[in-house]
Structure 1
Amino acid sequence: MNVELREIATLTQRLLRPDQVALDETERDHARHRVEDAAYAGSLDDERAKTTLARVANARTRGDLRRAMRVVPGGAAPSGLVNALRGVSALWLAGTAVQFAIWTLISLIGFHWTEPWWLWTLVTGPFVAGPLWWLTETYYRPAPEPARAIGTSQG
Structure 2
Amino acid sequence: MEITLVRGDITEQRADAVVNAANSSLMGGGGVDGAIHRRGGPEILEECRRLRAGHYGKGLPTGQAVATTAGRLPAKWVIHTVGPVHSKSEDRSELLASCYRESLRVADSLGARSVAFPAISTGIYGWPLDDAARIALDAVRQADTSVADVRFVLFDSAAYAVFETLL
The TM-score range, normalised by the shorter chain, is under 0.3
User: Which is greater in Rg?
Assistant: 1
The alignment's TM-score, normalised by the length of structure 2, stands at 0.25
Where relative contact order (Cα < 8 A, 6+ residues apart) is larger, the structure is 2
Instruction: From the two aligned structures, give the one with the greater helix fraction.
Output: 1
